[in-house]
Amino acid sequence: MEQQQEIHNRIAARLLDHIKTRSTDQVDANLRIPSASYTDPQQFDREMEAIFKRLPILAGLSGEIAQPGNYKAFDLMGTPLLLTRLKDGSVRAMLNVCAHRAMKLAEGSGKCDKFACPYHAWVYGNDGSLNRIAAQDTYGDVDKAAMGLTQLPVYERAGLIFVVLTPGLEVDFAGFLGGMIEDIEQLGFADWHYCGNREIYGANWKVAYDGYLEGYHFASAHPETIHQRTFSNMMAFHFYGPHQLIGFAQKDMQAKLGAVDPQQLHRHENNGYDFVRTLFPNVSIFVAPEITQVAQLIPGPTVGENRTVLHFIHRQAPQNEEQRQANETMMDWLKQVVDTEDYSLGLKIQQGLASGAHEHVTFGRNEVGNQEFHRWIDHYLNPQLPLGPLQQE
């Protein structure tokens, strides 16, 4: 906790300095990325294999399956998944595929402790074990223990549920998430109320994710929304491996926090500055007083598309209909902002990239988060190459 507080203090102090100098965190050079990296189907396939099928990927929030017996069935990048909460409180992640004839087993979400295949009525427990075969006397001998649902590595921490989409591929979860998951854990998401979600559709997953990593566009793309509260092109970064903690200065930060003890600045998130927390490769978390948004970017089905699920959580469950409706209104508003002010631009960017007008896109010295994000993508696609330090001012 003390380490997290010190990191927050340093970021907030840098933001105060940036306000005085009208500056932002910078690196020592621009970075060029081939435009084809956003449009090439072969690179997209490599990213799916080397990144999305080998790293812990967010599958859901703990609040979605909060109680024993809860389940959630969904597709993640074309993979049918089933998440369940067992009696002991643990989570299972399985391929939502019957061992008999590969039928999808469950749909939607809800609460039950058994799943019957809609094709031939084979029955599975919510731990994935095969419990019953319809008309087994005519079907023949079956080793039920060997015909359960295919299990996936699953990790639950800080109110978030991660899976590895390759069966049997155990990873160093703590090593991968490191200090970033500790930073999120101190927020207490595990005990927060799950309000609901909204879905939006956009361009290539990296085009979409680039927008979460910088505030350079706030003044031009969000003049009536974000820029009313927050400075444009004023950011401070801290990196936990490929994950990022990004600080954004509010326009009244100097007035609110200029005289605050530098060792107490960590206490003032959302009251002078805001953080965006990103989890590589595809999650962005924005904690706000009104509601918290967890954006889950899901690549595909083609290189030029993504589906983004905006999950929303709150510190407390609504106590009445007025509070519930206030949450619904805020979810609708945030969806509209992201969809119409970010993703609509991303679709136009995708068209521009596909046109072949320019061989490269260029990230400036001020687009620190974007440069780091693309360096890590290159690292996972080419692990034999060393990942040098990002030279940041």
How far CA 309 is from CA of 6, 46, 65, 113, 159, in Å, comes to 32, 23, 16, 26, 16
Within this chain, do residues 62 and 46 fall inside the same structural domain, yes or no?
no
Give the separation between CA 11 and CA 326, rounded to whole angstroms. 32
Specify the number of domains making up the chain. 2
Residue range 197-202: mean pLDDT, rounded: 98
Within this chain, do residues 231 and 144 fall inside the same structural domain, yes or no?
no
Within this chain, do residues 32 and 119 fall inside the same structural domain, yes or no?
no
Within this chain, do residues 212 and 325 fall inside the same structural domain, yes or no?
yes
Dump pLDDT digits (tens) for 163-183. 999 999 989 999 999 899 999
Percent of the chain scored above 90 by pLDDT? 94
Residue at 97 is within a domain: yes
How crowded is residue 356: how many other Cβ atoms within 10 Å of its Cβ?
Answer: 10
* Residue 388 confidence (pLDDT): 64
Contact of 61 with 74, CB cutoff 8 Å: no
CATH number at residue 150: 2.102.10.10
Dump pLDDT digits (tens) for 203-224. 999 999 999 999 999 999 999 9
Residue at 179 is within a domain: no
Residue length, the chain?
Answer: 393
What does pLDDT average to over the chain?
95
Within this chain, do residues 306 and 356 fall inside the same structural domain, yes or no?
yes
Within this chain, do residues 136 and 247 fall inside the same structural domain, yes or no?
no
Residue range 72-82: mean pLDDT, rounded: 96
Give the separation between CA 14 and CA 250, rounded to whole angstroms. 13
CATH number at residue 306: 3.90.380.10
Give the separation between CA 242 and CA 257, rounded to whole angstroms. 30
Cα 348 to the center of its chain, rounded Å:
23
Q: What predicted TM-score, i.e. pTM, was given to this entire model?
A: 0.95
Within this chain, do residues 69 and 198 fall inside the same structural domain, yes or no?
no
Quick check: 249 pLDDT over 90?
Answer: yes
Closest CA to 185 of 165, 159, 150: 159
Within this chain, do residues 345 and 206 fall inside the same structural domain, yes or no?
yes
Contact of 294 with 279, CB cutoff 8 Å: no
Quick check: 393 pLDDT over 50?
Answer: no
Within this chain, do residues 327 and 230 fall inside the same structural domain, yes or no?
yes
Within this chain, do residues 64 and 39 fall inside the same structural domain, yes or no?
no
More confident residue, 388 or 209: 209
Within this chain, do residues 210 and 297 fall inside the same structural domain, yes or no?
yes
Give the separation between CA 241 and CA 173, rounded to whole angstroms. 13
Contact of 15 with 271, CB cutoff 8 Å: no
* Residue 30 confidence (pLDDT): 96
Residue at 30 is within a domain: yes
Quick check: 116 pLDDT over 90?
Answer: yes
* Residue 203 confidence (pLDDT): 98
Residue range 284-310: mean pLDDT, rounded: 97
Q: Which pLDDT band, with edges at 50, 70 and 90, does 49 fall under?
A: very high
Torsions phi, psi of 134, nearest 5? -60, 135
Domain of residue 143: give its range.
57-170
Residue at 176 is within a domain: no
185: burial class by Cβ within 10 Å (0-12, 13-18, 19+)? Answer: middle
